[in-house]
Structure 1
Amino acid sequence: MNVTWIEVARMFELYGKKSGAKIRTKRSNSKHLQFDQYVDYTTLMGMMSQIVEKDKEVARVVHLTPRTAQNRSIVALELQSDRQSKKPGILIIGALNAMAWGAPNAIMELADRLLYDSNYQTPYFNDYDWYLIPMANPDGLEFSKGLRQLPPVDATMWSRNVTARFKTRPTVWHKNIDTEASDVCFGTNINRNFAFHWQDDVHKMPERCSQYYPGTKPFSTAEAQALRAYLEKMGDVIDLAIHLHASFVPKKEYILFPWRYSTRLPSNFRTLQAIGEYSARHARLPDGRLYEVHQSSNDNRVAGSISDYVSGVVGTDLVYLIKPYYPQFPNYTDSKIIEVYAKKAITAILSLVRGWRSSTKLNTLYFFGKEVEF
């Protein structure tokens, strides 16, 4: 069932007239929301406000600081079915890359299911605390979408040549849009800006015009600073962290784990591999393929990433990078693209949770001496 944004607001208004318990058993799996438009920053803020207003006993919005170059705040939606008890925490960060347009849609659809779909209450919502950051690079996302109708020019040429920017767009834009004094080029790749083995993957810093420019120093971007502050505040609350990204190469879709900066294997790589493979088997792609599961650096080394930072500095044991395929500058009116990406992303996320439970026997019941997974 496709639902417009006006209908979304009406649904929240309707739910708000019911008790919290009834809200979370109202809809069946077959009638969950499927957003047929891209979530922009204004819509995201409105949706979060509606959720908290109507369901404040289980939902809370946190505005991360500092604000971005264009004065936007990165927002976290925290979902806790019971604030009195400590449960395992799951962190999901989306749209750190400005081309991952579908990530906010997928994360907000997941939030909708956790809150209002009875089929997702157990084991997903009731057994975990969820910390969702749908749009970690709001400036970059709004910037890239705003240029979508213009003809493309090589990204490096577009960045260097101010004249080339007239009525054109870069072929890709992976960065935010911060600026430095007297620079023609602008923007920093936030996922190269975290202080964990920063720049260990290169002999020479990429130039300012590059889509992989990591900043003048670690945490030079407001976005990375805001995420660091939030992660520091969370401490050991997070047990499973997922960076929802996108693969921009058809039929190359991944579930990856640290390290990204090095080919050295993490101490718990067997657990990470096993859970990832479980997820891949249970999140089979629409054409029958499986996600490729391996260490992130198997394809190429990337230093200063958020996944390595969460693993190496924050100390979270289970950290994954999910990359379902998503076209760059897709047809903006084709809602099927959003629907397919969101379905793949949500299935992979929940399969990782199930894989984690399976590895700890949390989703196993015993009948007549036999293990039965639910």
Structure 2
Amino acid sequence: MSSWFHKYHGYDSHVHFLHRLAAAHPSVSRGIHLFGRSGPWENPAIVFFGTAHAREWISTMVAEYIAYSLLSESHVDADIKHALDSFDFYIFPVVNPDGLVYSQTKRRMWRKNRQAQNGTSCVGRDLNRNWDIHWGQNGGSSASPCHGTYRGQNAFDAPETRALAMELEDINERQGIRLFIDWHAFGQLVMHPYGYSCNKSLPPFSATAWLAGELAEAMRKVHGTKYKSGTACNLLYATSGDSADFVFEVLGADYAYTVELRPGRLDQRGFRLPENEIMETAEEAWGGVKHMLNLIHHY
């Protein structure tokens, strides 16, 4: 299955791959839900999202590589087995399926979902501006239906974010969320809350901020790729209504991040990361996740 990570794939192929992966590990996997010897729904949850923005194909591959690595390495790596026994993992590699298909078949740089809207020919909402957390505030999204960061008419009026929020709320009520990462591209950034305000910061000596730095450094150590850590607003720009802020502030997750993968912000390849960098990008993300899993047992 490791050859899967040598190129990008269509949506139907992603679905088939995930079914194959689950079938190969039936005792610890039910689709996107991975768990250890205590069984499902017993441990705190770790949640990963990929492809909220359709053109960010590398985020799909990274989320799938993490699932593949958790399952394939658990029988040979005691730390990974311990992680599966200590946490339930919920991995959503493609949270914007219609947008991904459109990006792969019609318009490579498409960002939003494909939701039709009354009164305009413009299509789609930005799924990472549609969460009910300071929605529409501080200039962190657009009110224009034609804009790439269009937030929608109301928070959670996109079916994808509404369904994801319901799932996260159920997970949180049942198990609590220990760690959340929404994988994106590009910029090589590990961003912790807050995105909706550049004037709000975490408390001094925050474990959430410290772990962001640990994740960035662990990712760098794999292949030398430099990642910066800090608040989303200060590292990039204001992002009101985003997933990490919602999971952190509304649901009360211990740790929540948005990670921008390769390439760097000034790299002209942008969202078109070549296929020969998929594996290295996935390896450095997995290296960072493994390091975090070891740390969050203790903090």
Which category of TM-score, normalised to the shorter sequence, fits these structures? 0.7 to 0.9
Distance 1:51 1:287 in 2: 26
Distance 1:325 1:98 in 2: 16
Conserved in 1, the CA contact under 8 Å of 2:45 and 2:179? yes
Q: Structure 1 pair 345/84, CA: closer, same or farther in 2 (3 Å)?
A: closer
Distance 1:290 1:227 in 2: 31
Question: Any idea what the Cα deviations from partners look like across 1:162-201, whole Å, max 9, x if unmatched?
Answer: xxxxxxx47x322111111342111110100011110112
Match of residue 7, structure 2, among 18, 37, 54: 37
Match of residue 244, structure 1, among 183, 186, 198: 183
Structure 1 residue 256 corresponds to structure 2 residue 191? yes
Q: Structure 1 pair 285/245, CA: closer, same or farther in 2 (3 Å)?
A: farther
In the TM superposition, residue 212 of structure 1 has moved relative to its aligned partner by 0.7
Q: Secondary structure at the match of 1:338?
A: helix
Question: Any idea what the Cα deviations from partners look like across 1:297-332, whole Å, max 9, x if unmatched?
Answer: 11321100011111111111211111112444527x
In the TM superposition, residue 204 of structure 1 has moved relative to its aligned partner by 8.9
Residue correspondence of structure 1 range 8-23 to structure 2 within 5 A: 8=1
What code does the residue aligned with 1:355 have? L
Q: Structure 1 pair 264/329, CA: closer, same or farther in 2 (3 Å)?
A: closer
Q: Secondary structure at the match of 2:280?
A: helix
Aligned to 2:230: 294
What code does the residue aligned with 1:244 have? W
Residue correspondence of structure 1 range 328-347 to structure 2 within 5 A: 328=270, 330=272, 334-347=274-287
Distance 2:249 2:272 in 1: 35
Distance 2:141 2:164 in 1: 26
Aligned to 2:33: 78
In the TM superposition, residue 127 of structure 1 has moved relative to its aligned partner by 3.0
Residue correspondence of structure 1 range 180-259 to structure 2 within 5 A: 180-202=117-139, 205-236=142-173, 237=175, 238-247=177-186, 252-259=187-194
What code does the residue aligned with 1:79 have? L
User: What is the aligned length?
Assistant: 286
Q: Structure 1 pair 230/90, CA: closer, same or farther in 2 (3 Å)?
A: same
Distance 1:143 1:79 in 2: 29
Conserved in 2, the CA contact under 8 Å of 1:176 and 1:188? yes
Distance 1:270 1:197 in 2: 22
What code does the residue aligned with 2:90 have? Y
In the TM superposition, residue 285 of structure 1 has moved relative to its aligned partner by 5.8
User: Which protein shows a greater Rg?
Assistant: 1
Aligned to 1:352: 292
The runs of 5 or more residues in structure 2 that have no matched partner are 264-268
The runs of 5 or more residues in structure 1 that have no matched partner are 1-7, 9-31, 62-76, 148-168, 361-374
Distance 2:124 2:34 in 1: 32
Distance 1:268 1:93 in 2: 28
Aligned to 2:90: 131
Aligned to 2:254: 317
Conserved in 1, the CA contact under 8 Å of 2:232 and 2:238? yes
Aligned to 1:265: 201
Aligned to 2:266: none
What code does the residue aligned with 1:338 have? I
Conserved in 2, the CA contact under 8 Å of 1:107 and 1:346? no
Distance 2:144 2:35 in 1: 43
In the TM superposition, residue 205 of structure 1 has moved relative to its aligned partner by 4.5
Distance 1:133 1:291 in 2: 23
TM-score (norm 2): 0.86
Distance 1:106 1:282 in 2: 15
Q: Secondary structure at the match of 1:230?
A: helix
Higher relative contact order (CA 8 A, sep 6+): 2
Aligned to 2:53: 97
Distance 2:170 2:280 in 1: 34
Q: Structure 1 pair 204/49, CA: closer, same or farther in 2 (3 Å)?
A: closer
Q: Give the fraction of aligned pairs with identical amino acids, expressed as a percent.
A: 24
Structure 1 residue 275 corresponds to structure 2 residue 231? no
